[in-house]
Amino acid sequence: MLELRLVQGSLLKKVLEAIKELVTDANFDCSATGFSLQAMDSSHVALVALLLRSEGFEHYRCDRNLSMGMNLGNVSKMLRCAGSDDIITIKADDGSDTVTFMFESPNQDKIADFEMKLMDIDSEHLGIPDAEYQAIVRMPSGEFARICKDLSSIGDTVIISVTKEGVKFSTAGDIGTANIVCRQNKTVDKPEEATVIEMQEPVSLTFALRYLNSFTKATPLSETVSISLSSDLPVVVEYKIADMGYVRYYLAPKIEE
Amino acid sequence: DAKQGNILSFFKKT
């Protein structure tokens, strides 16, 4: 028996919008720790890891570990039927081949049940080792989204370079080139508007902008994003979900031949 | 040209 009640149902709606472009089908894993997902895109270039900790739910019952295969487009269709202020409850019986999403309006005058068929998905779980990153950049998520969108109108790839001067995003295409430098800026009114660079040593890596743009679908989940870079590792682009967990995207770099 | 890396060459299956 599984029953997860999330008062801030809009969070789940945003989570689906954040991952459905990258991944088509995925297993949602439910355990005492929380509600989680790990999945790669079809070309195995990017990986998304989601965690919603059990403590973040108003009610969390998961009698035994359960893995539920879902088509994310279909989940998104179902969740789009929930109002933005609705309370969402996810329910599944042991051994059932369906999951139920229940939507309650805030004043309880409307209750809807949407039952969705589950699917068998062969997914590979990958071990992601803890790593020391050469540089971690924290910046407003909207700013990062804007940079990725702007650069993708010029080129297909971005070189992200971190030095003590700041973080530079560079691209080149048929019509020209572009460079955007963001300097560390801690002297802002609100901490979420700051750009903070923690650098152990300078690092420069090249990534496909198409994937980074896809990651920015998570922007509504968090006002800030952190970008962790090391020369021999995929970049980690993390959006924290307040009090609950995170959506982390891993993207393999482009490698010079 | 740079070649696109693959996640599976960085993270191993558990």
Residue B1 has pLDDT above 80, yes or no: no
Q: What is the pLDDT of residue A123?
A: 80
Bridge-based pairing state of the strands A111-117 and A34-40: unpaired
Bridge-based pairing state of the strands A111-117 and A66-71: unpaired
Q: Across A54-106, where does the E strand assignment appear? A: 59-62, 66-71, 87-92, 98-104
CB atoms near residue A216 (< 10 Å): 21
**Nearest-5° Cα angle at A217, A114 to B10:** 105
What does the pLDDT profile of chain A (257 residues) look like in tens digits?
999 999 999 999 999 999 999 999 999 999 999 999 999 999 999 999 999 999 999 999 999 999 999 999 999 999 999 999 999 999 999 889 999 999 999 999 999 999 999 999 988 799 999 999 999 999 999 999 999 999 999 999 999 999 988 999 999 999 999 999 999 998 889 999 999 999 999 999 999 999 999 999 999 999 999 999 999 899 999 999 998 999 999 999 999 87
Distance from CA of B7 to the nearest CA of A (A): 5
Locus of tokens 């509600």 = A35
Q: What is the pLDDT of residue A95?
A: 86
Confidence of residue B14 (pLDDT cuts 50, 70, 90): confident
- Please tell me whether residue A211 adopts helix, strand or coil conformation: helix
Residues 6+ apart with CB under 8 A from A251: A45, A46, A207, A208, A211, A212, A215, A234, A235, A237
**Which tokens is A66 given?**
């359960």
How far apart CA A236 and CA A212 sit, in angstroms, is 10
Helix axes A72-79, A10-19, angle to 10 degrees: 150
Distance from CA of B9 to the nearest CA of A (A): 9
* A:B CB pairs within 8 Å: 58
How far apart CA A197 and CA A230 sit, in angstroms, is 14
Q: What is the pLDDT of residue A119?
A: 96
Q: Cβ separation of B1 and A257 shorter than 8 Å?
A: yes
The ipTM (two decimal places) reads 0.96
- Please tell me whether residue A142 adopts helix, strand or coil conformation: helix
Q: Cβ separation of A257 and B3 shorter than 8 Å?
A: yes
Walk across the sheet containing A203-208 and list its strands.
A176-182, A166-173, A157-163, A203-208, A254-256, B2-4
Distance from CA of A233 to the nearest CA of B (A): 7
